[in-house]
Amino acid sequence: MKTAWMILLCVWTFNAYGQEWKETLNQARTLYKKGNYKEALKYYKRAEQIAPNDVDLSQEIGQTAYRANDFGTAAENFERQVNNAETKEKEIRARTSLGESRMKQQDFQSAVDNYKQILRMDPDNEKARQRLVEAKRLLEQQKKQQQNKQDKENNQQNKDKNQNQQNNNQNQQNQQNQQNQQNQQNQQNQQNQQNNSKDKQQNQNQQNQQSQQQKSEQKKLQDKETERKLDEFSKQEMNTKKRLDGSKGTTGGKSARKDW
């Protein structure tokens, strides 16, 4: 009884999922027919997730994604078709769609490789030959644009490098000029200090000379004053001596004339 219920449950679940993915797929196809490719793509992706493993929706998803301008998703699904193709004709059709998706992605090198492969399989495929020519032209144009862009970037880098070098040279020159000015200022300050020191020394010498001259003059004055005082003292001494000598002579005379 338990086994029977498990079987019934599995059957019911399988039928439910089967019914869901089919309804989702039908909704995707309806939206695709209405031209609502972006919404259709969402339903296609959902249907692919819940679809049985043996169901391949890559072709429908690829076409829908291409029309929705989702060229990356389109290229992925067309590449799946290429890998899973069972016949040469299916592979050529898948490669044709893949080449167009690569062209939209501006992956022109991949488009060239893809169209070349188609021509190896079908040398008379005129459409592939024309698209190969166009892909090569766009690839060459792309390479030139990239080269021009690279050249501009290199020129700009060289220009920036030269400008930076000029700025560095100018900065170095400015620094050198500042250093020279600083050196000159230091030399000038040193010279001013030396001059001030020299002037100070000269002033000190002059003051010393003046002081010595003043002392010398003062000494001369003092010597003159001393000489004057000595002269006065000598004169006073001579006068005193004369008075004393005169006084002694008178007394002696009187004594000599005394009558004993």
Residue from 46, 58, 40, 54 nearest 20 by CA = 46
Q: Burial of 120 by CB count in 10 Å (0-12 exposed, 13-18 middle, 19+ buried)?
A: exposed
pLDDT score of 173: 86
pLDDT of 222 reads 77
Tens-level pLDDT at each residue, the chain (260 residues): 444 344 333 333 344 455 899 999 999 999 999 999 999 999 999 999 999 988 999 999 999 999 999 999 999 999 999 999 999 999 999 999 999 999 999 999 999 999 999 999 999 999 999 999 999 999 999 999 999 999 999 999 988 888 888 888 888 888 888 887 887 887 887 776 776 677 777 777 777 777 777 777 777 777 777 677 777 777 777 777 777 777 655 444 444 444 42
Q: Report the candidate in 78, 23, 81 with the shortest Cα–Cα distance to residue 47.
A: 23
- What CA–CA distance (Å, rounded) separates 175 from 168? 10
pLDDT at residue 5 in the model: 40
Neighbours of 92 (CB within 10 A): 19
Give which of 111, 101, 172 is closest to 138, Cα–Cα. 111
Tell me if 66 sits within 8 A of 40, measured CB to CB.
Answer: no
CA distance linking residue 137 with residue 125, whole number of Å: 19
* Residues 112 and 136: beta-carbon distance below 8 Å: yes
d(CA 13, CA 24): 16
In this prediction, residue 247 carries a pLDDT of 63
What is the value of pTM for the model shown?
0.59
Domain boundaries, the chain: 1-51, 56-164
Choosing among 3.30.470.10, 3.30.70.1140, 3.30.460.10, 1.25.40.10, the CATH entry for 56-164 is 1.25.40.10
Cβ contact 72:53 at 8 Å: no
The whole-number pLDDT of residue 101 equals: 97
3-state secondary structure of 54: coil
Task: With beta carbons less than 8 A apart as the criterion, state whether 110 and 101 touch.
Answer: no
Q: What are the tokens at 99?
A: 């080449």
